[in-house]
Amino acid sequence: MNNPRFFAVGLLLALFVVTSAACGKIRQPEGWASPAVSDSTAYFFADKDRFVAVDLDSAKAVADPKSTTGATLQPLLWQFPSNDQKDQDAYSFKAVYTQPVRDGDTFFMASYDGGLYRINAPDGRGERIATQADIKGKIVAGPAVAGEYLVFGTTEGHLYVVNKNNGQLPVGWGKTGKDLGKGIWAPPLVRNDTIIVATMAGEVRAFGLDGAEQWQKRFTASGAVADLALLGGDSIFVPTLDRKVYILDAATGAQKGKEFVAEDWVWSTPAFAGGVAYFGDFSGKVYALDITTMETKWKPYDAGHRVKATPVLIDGVLVLADRGPVVHFIDAANGTGLNAVPVVNAGTVRAGLTAAGGKAYIATTKGRLFVADPVKRSVVEVGVGGGK
Amino acid sequence: MIGDAFTLVLLDPMINFLVILNNIFFGSFGLALIAFTVIIRLITFPLTRRQLHQSRAMQTVQPRMAEINKKYSDPKRRQEEMMKLYREAGVNPLGCLGPMLLQFPILIALFYAIRQTLPESPEALEALSAHLYQWTYIQHAVPINEFFLGIDLKLAPNEASSYLSPAWLFVVLVGATTWLQTKTTVTTVTDERARAQQQMMAYMMPIMFAFFALSFPTGVSLYWTINSLIQIGFNIVTYGLPALKIEPLLKSPAPAMAPALAARSAQPQSVAQPAPEPRTPNGPGRSKRQNRRRRPE
């Protein structure tokens, strides 16, 4: 830098770097909570900060004026936050990664920016739960309901239990929860008042509601565990980011059989039936794993794109959405592809699918909802319009 | 297309290399970044040596350059004489640019590599899978611990929750090391204007880089700081540090002068001088503008 022209070069360099950086695509939190469906109402995130309820009753559908294919719009029942709430900090949230859990007439959900919310399912009126907990980190994992309590973990590795009605902390749990040392990304499981939780260090542990450790020995996987599922009530499905899947005994935490090695990251939970777990990995392969023998039932099905979303099994047909997104209908008996329907201009699919009324509901990252019919092997959008 | 090539050739190897270094250095991404900087400097050492070599050579021809500046008012002629001088002295005035230009792709790739390797959101962690090689040694490392000495390496200081965040320390470090780097680059500039520009540069560069450090992930600032410290070391070894009476340790020979120039340098100035320009009404080697500037009001 002994010449003024180097100053100019340096300046250009810096400007170029800054410009490139500014133009760069840095992924912001979008959320991937699955839709919930009950009593002909679908609840899903129409945006990363807007939770809506839509009436699925076909009799209430109106024609979509923009559609050239005769598509219809379903009435919007409510949205949270509602129009009179949305500009208030108390109701604002950013990205939700775990399906809001329904407890009676109330939905509970946790947002990435550390908020806990209670929403009334019939009318959508909701509020932030004021809690004594000093939440460290961001919430991807949870909440799960354990009796009177909500259980959730944070990306900084703290596991929290708070009273779902008043946000109070139960005995045995500190204000900053239980520090498990590494991030908690997998939604905690609740089984017989036992909380089962996994960390990105690969540990799977069990705690009682009093905070006491339940298993004699915690399980340690070889890679990070970003998801967790309870299979048939007595087994735990433990997928890892280093391509493995373990099955644990839910009562003791002991590993059952050998681990299964997939082709790429497994960051998804399975559809489960008849002792077989159906899931996909990031290479796009879909497996049917017999959790007793830890052998695959059929040759992996190639979806072609990364699979993050949990599939559903409806009447022997595995319905799965990849990141294309393409919705696949696969014969669960032998792994044969029955149909593959691309979903265009709707973003991608990371949220798990939800089965209800013999159909599969699929939420996309652009906040759109689709319904897949395993009988017709077709996919139709549930348009939202009218209503409140 | 360019983006794909950038990802395949530069970004992905850099991400995987950083993850490997992270594993080697006990899961500390900060140490991995420091090791990465040192390795990059080792790889580019031949270029750095050439740059220092050229800088020293430029110093040796500075008196002759001053002479040419003084003697010729016609810019075209002056340029010709300068080029002749460079050619005879074996100096390339752009020779110092190599290592600096190399910083372009490295900085850009490092910016993205840190953003990808230390993801800010679950979506970004998911995207990281597309960049990692399918080696068990690498896959085991995910997710990478983003903290180094209590500093979140993925966050930029202006994203920090408080002005007391240690991330702000890196803004100061980037500015200070850039300033030191400039100050340890000893140059002999005879032209007043060039000296003024150099003075300005010595203060502007650190301010500018400190300003950019505000919005860069702290990991990039760590790279820049270590990189500057290494360069300061090279500068001291090459030029010494007159302020502290430190002599240059590396006595790298100046590039071999062309025999004609060497002979001219050895002869008395009157013999070595090139044919003088015809005297102008403004005086030899002076333009009207230069005279106007020097004339008292």
Residue among A16, A200, A241 whose CB faces B139 most closely = A241
CA gap B193, B21 in Å, rounded: 46
Which residue in B61, B126, B212, B221 has the most chain A C-beta atoms within 10 A of its own C-beta, making it the best mutation to test that interface? B126
Q: Which two tokens stand for residue A386?
A: 């009218």
Alpha carbon B52 to chain centroid, angstroms: 11
pLDDT in tens, A364-374: 999 999 999 99
ipTM above 0.90 for this complex: no
Domain residue extents for chain B: 2-253
Regions of chain A with pLDDT less than 70: 1-27, 67-71, 386-388
pLDDT in the model for residue A77 = 93
Q: Is A25 on the interface with B (CB under 8 A)?
A: no
**In A, which residues are within 8 Å of B181 by CB distance?**
1
Q: What is the pLDDT of residue B258?
A: 46
The Cβ-side half-sphere exposure at A18, using a 13 Å CA radius, reads 14
**Cβ–Cβ under 8 Å, residues A178 and A153:** no
Phi/psi for B279 (5° steps) reads: -65, 135
Which DSSP letter does residue A147 get? T
Measure A311 CA to nearest chain B CA, in Å.
18
What DSSP string describes A275-336? TEEEEE-TTSEEEEEETTTTEESSPPEE-SS---SPPEEETTEEEEE-SS-EEEEEETTT--
A383 forms beta bridges with A73
pLDDT for the residue A18: 53
**Short-list B124, B142, B122, B146, CA closest to B133:** B142
d(CA B40, CA A144): 48
- Tokens, residue A191: 């089984």
Choose among A4, A18, A140: nearest Cβ to B197: A4
Note which residues in 91-150 of chain B have CB less than 8 A from chain A. 93, 96-97, 100-101, 103-104, 107-108, 111-112, 115, 119-127, 129-130, 134, 136, 139-140, 142-143
Handedness of CA A162, A165, A170, A174 (dihedral sign): positive
Q: Do B205 and A21 touch (CB under 8 A)?
A: no
Which residues 97-126 of A have a C-beta within 8 angstroms of B? 97, 112
CA distances from B198 to A2, B186, B203 (A): 7, 11, 9
Q: Which residues of B touch A95 (CB under 8 A)?
A: 121
- The residue of chain A nearest to residue B145, with distances taken between CA atoms, is A182
Name residue A128's beta-bridge partners.
Answer: A117
Closest Cβ opposite residue A4 in set B107, B115, B194: B194
B111 contacts A21? CB cut-off 8 A: yes
Nearest CB neighbour to B93, from listed A3, A241, A308: A3
When scoring A5, A27, A306 by the number of chain B Cβ atoms within 10 A, the one with the most, hence best to mutate, is A27
- Tell me the two tokens of residue A388: 């409140």
Å between B139 CA and nearest CA of chain A = 5
Instruction: Note the pLDDT of residue A271.
Output: 97
Taking only the tens of pLDDT, chain B with its 297 residues reads 677 888 888 899 999 999 999 999 999 999 999 999 999 989 888 887 777 777 777 777 777 877 888 788 888 888 888 888 878 877 776 666 666 677 777 878 888 888 889 988 899 999 999 999 988 889 888 889 888 988 889 888 887 767 777 888 999 999 999 999 888 876 656 566 767 777 777 788 889 889 988 988 899 999 999 999 998 988 888 777 777 777 777 665 544 444 444 455 444 444 344 444 444 444 444 445 544 544 443
Q: What is the pLDDT of residue A195?
A: 97
User: What are the backbone angles phi and psi of residue B65, rounded to the nearest 5°?
Assistant: -65, -40
Q: How far apart are CA A185 and CA A167, in angstroms?
A: 22
| B9 C-beta neighbours (distance < 10 Å), count | 12
Contact criterion met (CB < 8 Å) for B139 and A243: yes
B182 interaction partners in chain A (CB closer than 8 Å): 1
